[in-house]
Amino acid sequence: MQVDSSLTGPFPRSEALVRATRDLDRGRTSAEEVGRLYRSTATELARLEQTHHLAPATGGYLRWADLFRPFAEGWSGFEVGPVTRWYETNTFYRQPILHAPPDRSAGALGGWFPAAEAGIEAATAKAILPGPYTFATMIDNRSGETTEALIHRIGRLLAAEVAELRTTGYLNFQFQEPSLVVHPPAPTAGESTIAAYRAIAETLGTAPSYVWSFFGDAAPVLPLLRRLPAQGVGVDLAETEVRDLAGHPAGRGLGLGVLDPRTTLLENPADIARQVHAACEAAGVDRVQIGPGGPLDLLPWESAVRKLPLLNGAQTALRNGGGRS
């Protein structure tokens, strides 16, 4: 069994960065000083990712206020809207308000991707973007466009972003799709989602890509997830039962969210190994990618850092024959 591991979303800001960004809000420090701290923290995280064999690396996406903010600020048609609950968490995002069909301009988002700041070669980094279904359904759409049309349009715009990121060296892509499992799409929206990913896939070519679901049970939408033209799909094992992974298509990658960002309680690597083994048996696969089940920025920095070695610990346990019940 081959098990790779990688982070799957934004990492929390360090306590120093928390203080600095607060101070910046209060006019007690300079943007330059905070920028310096962003760079050093992203570099530190990249080093931790390397130490714990987490590849591709992410750099933490520390500057992103939320999953949509770079797009709400960088694409046309949007206004950054009210503070809105981020799924079933005690965190919030500013819900973008879409007043007109969105559009993009070249170079508007490049600075938001953290590889360069973290000192990671883009080719070994992972570009994490919102998935088109989650994007289209988590905003306040006042553009007059139907949800279905908007999903498809956002897919085409994301495809253009992917193309631009590829020119800067990015090879690995992940699309965040919590809404697919938290608010499963109606059949028409599901077909639009497939069409959106088809547009993205045309740009991706053979570049590795994962659609990562979290915050919900993937079982009811596995048939749709498996139809998406991506190299793999990720599911959150704190929400999804491994027995439901049966029938995974041959040749399609499987991602397993095995670290729970809802608790600081450290998972036991042996328990993770057992879950991974059971999931592989159920799905009939011998290669998986493991990572956090959701974004680790629900934890404080130190608690998130303490979870990083567990992925490698589980890999070691599996290599040593652990995980078989």
Partner 1 sequence: MSESKLFRTQEIGSLARPLWQLQGQRHTPLSPAARKEFLGWNQQLGFAPVEDATVGHFLSNGGTDVSGAQVRDWGAAFALRFLESAGLDRVYDGEARRVEMYEHAVRQMQGFELLGHVRSFDSKYYLKGAITGEVGLGHPYDLEEFDFVRSHARATPKLPVTGPYTIADWSFNEYYLGRIPGWKGRTQRREAQREFVVDVARKAIRPTLAAMIDHGCRVIQIDEPAAGTHPDQAALVAEGFNVATEGLDAEFSMHICFSDYRSLFPALLEAKRCRQWAWEFANRDTEDHDAYAMLSLLREYGDTREVGLGVLDVHRDAIESPEVVQNRIERAAQVLGDPSRIWVNPDCGLRTRRLEVAYEKLTNMVEGARRARQAQTGAG
Binding site for partner 1 (CB under 8 A): 12-13, 15, 18, 21-22, 24-25, 65-66, 82-85, 88-94, 142, 217, 237-239, 241, 260, 262-265, 271, 274-275, 297-303
State the minimum distance, in angstroms, from the CB of residue 96 to partner 1.
Answer: 13
Residue whose entry in the numeric block shows the structure tokens 């053979």: 206
Nearest Cα to Cα of residue 124 among 208, 64, 203: 208
Closest separation between CB of residue 72 and partner 1, Å?
13
Residue reference for tokens 């994301």: 158
Distance, in Å, from the CA atom of 166 to the CA atom of 4, rounded to the nearest integer, reads 23
| Radius of gyration for the chain, computed over Cα atoms and rounded to the nearest angstrom | 19
> Which CB sits closer to partner 1, 113 or 301?
301
The nearer residue to partner 1, 117 or 297, going by C-beta atoms, is: 297
CA angle 187, 193, 194 (to 5 degrees): 95
In the complex, minimum distance from the CB of residue 180 to partner 1, in angstroms, rounded to a whole number: 18
Least Å distance, CB 127 to partner 1, is 22
The CB-of-260 to partner 1 minimum distance in angstroms stands at 7
> Sheet of 92-103: strands edge to edge?
76-85, 92-103, 140-141
Closest CB to partner 1 among 40 and 303?
303
Cβ nearer to partner 1, comparing 132 with 293 = 293
| 211: nearest Cα among 295, 129, 281, 135 | 129
- CA distances to 61, 154, 215 from 268, rounded to whole Å, are 27, 40, 21
Q: How far is the CB of 300 from partner 1 (least distance, A)?
A: 3
In the complex with partner 1, the residue whose CB is nearer, 250 or 265, is 265
Burial of 282 (0-12, 13-18, 19+ CB in 10 A): middle
In the bound state with partner 1, the residue whose beta carbon lies nearer, of 232 and 261, is 261
